[in-house]
Structure 1
Amino acid sequence: MNSWASDADTTEQQQAKADLLKSVMASFSQFCETNLHKPPEEMLAVLWDLWLPLSIKLASHRQGLGRPLIQGILGGQGTGKTTMCRVLSLVLQQLGYRTLSLSLDDLYKSYSDRLLLTQEDPRLIWRGPPGTHDLDLGLKVLDQIRQGESPVSVPRFDKSAYNGAGDRTTPEIVKEIDIVLFEGWFVGVKPVAPDVFNYAPPPIVTDQDRVFARDMNRRLHDYLPLWQRLDSLIVLYPTDYRCSMTWRKQAEQQMIATGKLGMSDAQIEEFVNYFWRSLHPELFITPLVKSPRGVDLVISIHPDHSIGSIR
């Protein structure tokens, strides 16, 4: 991992970082043991090289704005979005900032609305692709936060409802938000030229697949007003997008080992391929990462989940 922030740090900045490390160490250790099931020593380098300087950067950005900061975090399945949000919240709390973690999943349409949607477009067999979210709700919440309204009713989604189909649950009432960590598998992703689907990678292989991919690409236009509310965008970028499939299988196997219900490998492949057909990482995320505009930080993720380059 490269020390993207610490290489140029002054002695004063290094000392501030060291003081912050001391203040978060107890709660960070507890988080590692309880949530990551790892000794905190294993995660110290990531904390020092990435999470501490990033928290300081977000706090500085929030100060400069003079209003709540909306930080977008884009990452596919298994890239560590949830872990990152929780650690940033923990560190930012020590810096005196109140954070709100909001997922794109929290903006899903209700179960009944998605049933109607499936009747209109039977291809939308799972929640997740463009078109399955309540964009007006997302815009309303982010605008209320940006304008400093308090308290704010934040939507929440229960994925276990209706045998895993999921539905909205009781909103969370939140006061005085400084920083929103808004994460999701296509947060900030923009439409691409329709002709790219003529030579799309698998699993976009049939004419039917290409029509579906183009239709999902067209629906991304509806999300642009939501992305315009982002003040900054971080991308968690696997060195190989196919890692998401492996990570999902590992997560399901771990869940089954604890006695919970989980998907078989064949079901996972069907599930992940469905998402890749709708918005393929090579077509939507790779161009975004390579573009000099629109992305503020790209964090590479290795197949073993370790952090690679940060740029």
Structure 2
Amino acid sequence: MSPEPTSAAALIERAIRARLPERGKRPLVVGICGSQGSGKSTVCKTLTAQFSQAGLSVANLSLDDLYLSLADRVTLAKHVHPLLRTRGVPGTHDTKLGVHTLNALAHSGRVPLPRFDKAIDDRRPASQWDSVQGPAQLVLFEGWCVGARPQGLEALDQPVNQLEANEDVDGRWRRYVNDALGGEYQRLFAKIDLLVLLAAPSFDVVLKWRTQQEQELRAQTTGSVSGVMNDAALARFVQHYERLTRHILIEMPGRADLVIRLGADRSVIG
């Protein structure tokens, strides 16, 4: 059954169908940006099912699946800044793996798709990755900062929350993140043909949405699992994303190919 006409999936489907004839022999790479909990994964599952049923070869890749391994992030934390142990911000992804994967999807053969397990806070072994038969005709590439651009240097001077004020006093962490976003991430995001923004009404609802996600993760796991957070840990975790999420909500709407504005219940309001 097709989604309701006003759903985010329906709006993105319409935009994809308008662009597919332009792709030639290349995959159409659709970047879907949205804050934590905005429904990106659900939208991509819906779109994957719809276009697969229509006979297209579809690959679904999340920026989250490109996270560096826990060991690599521990090394970054030791040599660059302690906050880089926490996954999420630019500088904690393997962008070269992302570029390699997107390039491979344009060619024939089985293409492994990296997968990250948030319950253990580490990348899954390659033997547990998904794969698709290339060449893909459509690639859905989603993530909380997919397509983002760096801030101006002056914007980095003042902390935006307690995490930055207390744990990044000299601004070294946020400068590292911003530099990474302006460098290697732009090479990855240059692969995007159609950029979609699922725009939250404000950053204030993001913690609520992310809390719902974590509750679902807790329900899916049993026993003590290192990657599952309690509410206090989650509130601190979300602060890692605050600066760039606020920046995206201001900067990206003016240049995204499609902006879908969401209400606090994730319904489409514009």
Q: TM-score interval w.r.t. the shorter chain?
A: 0.7 to 0.9
**Corresponding position: 1:244 with 2:200:** no
**Counterpart for residue 117 of structure 1:** 76
* RMSD between aligned residues: 2.4
CA contact (8 A) 2:37 2:210 kept: yes
Superposed displacement of residue 102, structure 1: 0.1
Which of the numbers 167, 173, 176 marks the counterpart of 2:123? 167
**Counterpart for residue 269 of structure 1:** 235
CA contact (8 A) 1:52 1:91 kept: no
Q: Which amino acid in 1 is paired with 2:101? A: V
TM-score (norm 2): 0.85
Identity %: 33
| CA distance in structure 1 between the aligned counterparts of 2:240 and 2:154, rounded to whole angstroms | 20
Q: Which amino acid in 1 is paired with 2:173? A: F
Superposed displacement of residue 85, structure 1: 0.2
Q: Which amino acid in 2 is paired with 1:63? A: P
**Corresponding position: 1:62 with 2:20:** yes
3-state SS of paired residue (1:131): coil
3-state SS of paired residue (2:124): strand
Which of the numbers 147, 160, 184 marks the counterpart of 2:143? 184
CA contact (8 A) 1:192 1:284 kept: no
| CA distance in structure 1 between the aligned counterparts of 2:221 and 2:67, rounded to whole angstroms | 28
| CA distance in structure 1 between the aligned counterparts of 2:237 and 2:14, rounded to whole angstroms | 38
| Structure 2: runs of 5+ lacking an equivalent | none
| CA distance in structure 2 between the aligned counterparts of 1:100 and 1:139, rounded to whole angstroms | 14
Superposed displacement of residue 259, structure 1: 7.7
3-state SS of paired residue (2:197): strand
| CA distance in structure 1 between the aligned counterparts of 2:191 and 2:216, rounded to whole angstroms | 37
CA contact (8 A) 1:111 1:168 kept: no
Superposed displacement of residue 69, structure 1: 0.7
| CA distance in structure 2 between the aligned counterparts of 1:236 and 1:141, rounded to whole angstroms | 24
| CA distance in structure 2 between the aligned counterparts of 1:196 and 1:300, rounded to whole angstroms | 25
Distance 1:70 1:212, change over 3 A: same
Instruction: Return 194-203 or 116-125, whichever deviates more.
Output: 194-203
Q: Which amino acid in 2 is paired with 1:219? A: A
3-state SS of paired residue (2:234): helix
Superposed displacement of residue 79, structure 1: 0.3
**Counterpart for residue 39 of structure 1:** none
Which of the numbers 132, 137, 151 marks the counterpart of 2:92? 132
| CA distance in structure 1 between the aligned counterparts of 2:179 and 2:31, rounded to whole angstroms | 21
Distance 1:222 1:120, change over 3 A: same
Superposed displacement of residue 65, structure 1: 1.2
CA contact (8 A) 2:197 2:252 kept: no
**Counterpart for residue 222 of structure 1:** 184
Distance 1:124 1:199, change over 3 A: closer
Larger radius of gyration: 1
Superposed displacement of residue 258, structure 1: 7.3
Superposed displacement of residue 257, structure 1: 6.4
Q: Which amino acid in 1 is paired with 2:75? A: L
TM-score (norm 1): 0.75
Distance 1:156 1:200, change over 3 A: same
| CA distance in structure 2 between the aligned counterparts of 1:257 and 1:133, rounded to whole angstroms | 27
Q: Which deviations, in whole Å up to 9, do the C-alpha atoms of 1:62-89 show, x marking residues without a partner?
A: 2221121111011111100001001111
**Counterpart for residue 5 of structure 1:** none
Distance 1:253 1:157, change over 3 A: closer
Q: Which deviations, in whole Å up to 9, do the C-alpha atoms of 1:182-240 show, x marking residues without a partner?
A: 01111111112110123554344466164422221111122111011111110111011
| CA distance in structure 2 between the aligned counterparts of 1:265 and 1:68, rounded to whole angstroms | 40
**Corresponding position: 1:298 with 2:238:** no
CA contact (8 A) 1:108 1:168 kept: no
3-state SS of paired residue (1:175): strand
| CA distance in structure 2 between the aligned counterparts of 1:200 and 1:119, rounded to whole angstroms | 22
3-state SS of paired residue (2:91): coil
| Structure 1: runs of 5+ lacking an equivalent | 1-24, 29-42
